[in-house]
Structure 1
């Protein structure tokens, strides 16, 4: 097996970047989900309630900048040249059950372009603490603004199986993976507990439970409820519908690259 694709999502719930290689860190790929859109109260905003956010992407610009663009025509909408504040001014922000203090960026331009009044952008620098659910972490590992885990692995064979059941090819970006692995056997990942990719190792604490997010077209945000219902016909565990495996990095050196060999451990 080999790495087929690598994706990074600088801003939680916006479109991401397809990379040929990426540097790894405890919280996820470097600069993955280190920014998050929040409302006036600090509550996170996502495609679950605002599916039109799928129409916008984010990419890192230089050492400190961040670009928000429209996916349809790649038009730059918001240029934030200093998107990594580290000063003492912070706000209490909430993502799922976690509340933490993080600096926020005021950008009326962002609120206007995304069509959501009063939103701001929270940034997670290295001093902002958010740990993984202790039921699944080994020793207090940290995570970014991702839903719960630093890495998400999916496989080409599993996507092909779901596409066959659905009746047409589905875009893997619906599932927002960090790493897509080229594989031959659908859902073999259910039994994986660890991976080696190049010099890097990961342990896989649990499958990823899926929600309405996977019904959003990754370019337009238009919803196709049948994607989730089709997955539920053969991938339900208890009251959870699963696809892919959550991962935690155990260490390694150098970048992760498309084409790297993948070994199950």
Structure 2
């Protein structure tokens, strides 16, 4: 199996950013992946003492489909976040200053409209990632599994609906489920697969139109008896991964 795509999502719920290569570090997510989030006004998130919270506390596609209409780009070197709405002027905000974060929060709050609760905050915390699971990890989807779902429903599905970090080609449908509890070699990194990804209503949202025009969780249950697509894996030995690199399951005496 080979890596076809690598993505990070600097702001939870906003645009995917494609990467040709990235360095994975032991026990970490992709650098800058889900680094920022819009915390709803009633969210108990404390940047000074960050703790994992469920996605409902933040702006997310599961609840806020209209976020898909925003096009964003983050520059880690400068800390600048550009956000372009479907209409009106774009925003260039400074994530490193209090005033810049307030400006970004106000922009996103206006876009959410009635879906904003209280006074949302644009938040980050050093070393914290706003992921859907509490463990820092990398999400991986086998494109053969996605193709099996597409064939079952007779509809093409944009892979960005599923917001994974790594998409791999080759292998058989659902092969990634066989890796549970197992180590894999991904490029120069080694990971341990620990959980199947249960798909949520975020995948119903068309990333181009923001319309809820598909039902992947329902279709997965209907055709395959589960609502899962992809797996989570912890990085246990860091290293570079790049588009074109191999993914190989490791077994027995190959582990060490």
Q: Which TM-score band applies after superposition, normalised by the shorter structure?
A: 0.7 to 0.9
Instruction: Give the one of 63, 83, 102 matched to 1:106.
Output: 102
Cα shift at 1:22: 1.9
Are 1:153 and 1:246, in contact at CA under 8 Å, matched by a contact in 2? yes
TM-score w.r.t. the length of structure 1 is 0.77
1:16, 1:57 within 8 Å by CA — same for their partners in 2? no
- Indicate the SS of the match to 1:28: coil
Question: Distance between the aligned counterparts of 1:154 and 1:212, measured in 2?
Answer: 17
Give a deviation string over 1:181-226, Cα, whole Å, max 9, x none. 1123111111012210122001011111111111111122211243
Who is 2:206 aligned against?
A: 217
C-alpha deviation, 1:114, in angstroms: 4.7
Conservation of the 8 A alpha-carbon contact between 1:68 and 1:76:
no
1:6 maps onto 2:6 in alignment: yes
CA 156–77 in structure 1, closer or farther in 2 if over 3 Å, else same: same
Gaps of 5+ in 2: 44-56, 251-256
CA contact (8 A) 2:161 2:207 kept: yes
* Residue in structure 1 matching 2:238, options 242, 252, 265: 252
1:243 to 229, 245, 254: 229
Shift of 1:151: 1.1
Partner of 2:172: 185
Structure 1, unaligned stretches of length 5 or more?
Answer: 88-103, 129-143
In structure 2, the residue matched to 1:29 is 30
The SS at the match of 2:110 is helix
CA distance in structure 1 between the partners assigned to 2:33 and 2:14 by the alignment: 11
Match of 1:205 in 2: 194
Q: TM-score, normalised by structure 2?
A: 0.80
1:153 and 1:247 in contact (8 A); partners too: yes
* Structure possessing the higher relative contact order (Cα contacts under 8 Å, 6 or more residues apart): 2
1:21-41 deviation line (CA, Å, top 9, x unaligned): 123233311000010111222
* 1:131-182 C-alpha deviation (Å, 9 max, x unpaired): xxxxxxxxxxxxx111014211001111111111111211111111100011
Q: Deviations over 1:98-139 (max 9, x none)?
A: xxxxxx93122332345465322111213x5xxxxxxxxxxx
**Is the Cα contact below 8 Å between 2:64 and 2:112 reproduced in 1?**
no
CA contact (8 A) 1:212 1:225 kept: no
Change in Cα spacing, 1:62 to 1:152, as seen in structure 2 (3 Å) is closer
Structure with a larger share of its residues in helix: 2
Q: Deviations over 1:11-69 (max 9, x none)?
A: 01112111111232333110000101112223322112111111123322142423243
Quote the Cα distance in structure 2 between the aligned partners of 1:235 and 1:84.
45
